[in-house]
Every structure is written in structure tokens, then in C-alpha cells.
A = this chain, B = another copy of it.
Amino acid sequence: MTDKIKVVVCGALGKMGVETVRAVHNDGDLQLIGLMDVRGGVGDLGIDLGQGISLPVMTDLDQLLDLKPDVMIDFTAPASVYQNVATALGRGINCVVGTTGLSEAQLKQLEQIALDKGIGVAVIPNFAIGAVLMMKLAAEVACYLPDVEIIEMHHDQKLDSPSGTSIKTAELIAAARSRQPVRNDLAVEKVAGARGAELGGVSVHSVRLPGFIAHQEVIFGGVGQSLTIRHDSYDRKGFMPGVVMTVKKIVETQGLIYGLEKLL
């Protein structure tokens, strides 16, 4: 019998963190050994994992890493993610990162630390297998139908727009398509913003409304037809198979993995 992979979760009290704690706890190959969250504190009773098991929530990263996990999962915040992950990698701990906000330069630096230590770091903008398939399919279609726009819809608590997934999708389309879409130079935007954000020749439109969770449509137009690929995330549970799969794969990886599609 192989040993279980020891896992700690940073940002354990956030929405994704709580779901991740449960998923790790319930997976037979993983062992949850520590939690951290800046919202934790002295006397915190921790998260009830069911079956009478609960773990304290630490507030200090070094203390968490002293538990010697195989993998640290980070679902914290744009302001803290780089420092968290650089520290963990520096101490030889593989990382799985779901937090957004890392710059291109920071990704390169994290990759270098991981390579130096001979370990892996996975930065995954979207853990939903369906969303990753959507992006993959969109790149495929763009070879045949290069005229395309993206509409992404999220709950009104999502502060940033466009979403990370839509930016990633636009990048993949821009790289894949056979020709640039034809732009009509006579077009007039009578109210600023109507035609959306332009990302590499792809217009991206961001809808923010209560009720919504996370949804995206990639719409391709051609002579006499259109083709639409839509992904709907209804529940954070939909991300968990991707999180668990990434944890299991990162311990066998060296360097940076960016995007769940690299693991399909």
C-alpha cells in the first residue's frame, strides 16, 4: 500500500476552501493534515469534517508548513497568493493554486523556484472539467470559424471583469484561429462599452447579476450559421474532481503546470 498524499489547505474558511477541505478529507488517496486562514484565530474551533473529526485553523503560514505536507492548496486572495506559494515552494512543498491574480512575471518566478527544488506547481484558473473542455473545443472551432465573441456571466459579488476563464479562452482562440476576424471600420459604438472588451481580436462581454453562479458562452458566427459552446457551473462541487486530480498529479511533476487542460 502506498502512503497517502499529505495535504494542507490555505484559505480554508473561504467558499472554495471549505469545499476543498471536504473533498480532500473524503478522498481515499489524500490525507488532510492542516488548515490555514487569516480569518482563523486563537480559540478557533476549526472546521467540522463530519465523523467527529475537526482540525484547527492556523493563521501562520510557517506553522502550517512545519506540518511537512506533500502538497499545499492555495485558495486565498490576489494580494497574498504569490508570497504563500513562493514560501511553500521554497520549502520544497508542491503547490496547487486556484487563487487568481498572479502576473506573468510571478508565474515565471514560481516556475523557477519549483524547477530549482525539483517539485511541481499547478496554477489552475478553472478547475471545472466542463469549462476546460469548453476552452479546448473553442480553440478547435476557431480554426474553421474565426469570427467569435465571448459572453461570461457571474454572480454580482464577482468584482473583476472580464473573468479569468474568458481571458484564457480569448487567448487560446487568438492563438488557434486561421485568420484574423474582419472588423468593420465604419462601426460606431454610440455608447462606450457596447462592443465589450477587446482581447486579441475577441470581444468579451461580462454580465454580473444576482442568482448567477459562473457561466460562459463562446459564440462563433459563419455564413448562414452560428455555433455556440456554453458552460454552466451550478455548484462549487463541480470543481472538486479537478482539484483532487491536480493534487494527485502535481506530486509527480516538476515545474509549472498552467491550466487543467494540461492534465487531460
Residue positions of A touching B, CB distance < 8 A: 128-131, 133-134, 137, 140-141, 144-145, 147-149, 151, 153, 156-157, 159-162, 182, 184, 186-199, 203-213, 219-241, 264
Contact = CB atoms under 8 A, between A and B. Distances in A.
Contacts of A153: 219
A68 B184 CA distance: 40
A60 to B, nearest CB: 27
Nearest to A233: B225
Given A133-B227, A157-B184, A210 B222 contact: yes
Contact of A198 (B193, B196, B198): B193
Contacts of A131: 225
A230 B230 contact: yes
A226 B221 contact: no
Contact of A193 (B144, B193, B235): B193
Contacts of A161: 187-191, 194-195
Given A221-B212, A225-B232, A234-B213, A133 B144 contact: yes
B221 A195 contact: no
A173 B31 CA distance: 37
Nearest to A234: B224
A210 B222 CA distance: 5
Contact of A129 (B144, B148, B235): B144
Contact of A204 (B187, B194, B199, B228): B194
B198 A224 contact: no
Contacts of A159: 184, 186-188
B149 A207 contact: yes
A211 B225 contact: yes
A148 B224 CA distance: 25
A192 B197 contact: yes
15 contacts: A129-B144, A129-B222, A130-B220, A147-B209, A189-B197, A192-B197, A194-B205, A196-B205, A207-B219, A211-B234, A211-B238, A223-B235, A226-B232, A227-B232, A230-B230
Contact of A199 (B141, B191, B223, B233): B191
A225 B194 contact: no
A151 B193 CA distance: 12
